Amino acid sequence: MSDQKVERYTVEVFGESYSLVSDEGEDSVVQAAHQVDTLMQEISEKLHGASTKRVAVLAALTLAHRLTAQDRRLQRLCSIVSNSSPVAYQ
């Protein structure tokens, strides 16, 4: 969380309203909710008749997988940068 003022927001995800408290700002909260909603809609369309709970768990697992993959990429890039020799500028 940042040093911004904590605010309360209401977002809609998969047809349900959720009240959230965050200091990340409205754009960030709305964007995150939209990403989760979109993913849940996509999963629901592929798994006709799946319960909301199942769709939510699959969405959470998908987002966790994406985050883990990004973390691995970042670690590889940091390793490359830290192992590279300094460039001499003239």
User: For 27-48, what is each residue's pLDDT tens digit?
Assistant: 999 999 999 999 999 999 999 9
Please indicate, yes or no, if residue 43 is contained in any of the structural domains: yes
Query: Rounded distance, CA 80 to CA 12, Å?
Result: 41
Please indicate, yes or no, if residue 86 is contained in any of the structural domains: no
Please indicate, yes or no, if residue 1 is contained in any of the structural domains: no
Please indicate, yes or no, if residue 89 is contained in any of the structural domains: no
Please indicate, yes or no, if residue 88 is contained in any of the structural domains: no
The three-class DSSP label of residue 89 is coil
Q: What are phi and psi of 10, to 5 degrees?
A: -115, 125
- Is the Cβ–Cβ distance between 33 and 44 less than 8 Å? no
Please indicate, yes or no, if residue 90 is contained in any of the structural domains: no
Whole domain around residue 51: which residue ranges? 7-81
Query: Rounded distance, CA 69 to CA 43, Å?
Result: 20
Query: Rounded distance, CA 44 to CA 5, Å?
Result: 36
Say how many domains are in the chain.
1
User: For 6-17, what is each residue's pLDDT tens digit?
Assistant: 999 999 999 999
User: For 44-62, what is each residue's pLDDT tens digit?
Assistant: 999 999 999 999 999 999 9
User: How sure is the predictor about 87, in pLDDT bands with cuts at 50, 70 and 90?
Assistant: low
Please indicate, yes or no, if residue 44 is contained in any of the structural domains: yes
Please indicate, yes or no, if residue 17 is contained in any of the structural domains: yes
Query: Rounded distance, CA 47 to CA 54, Å?
Result: 10
pLDDT score at 75: 93
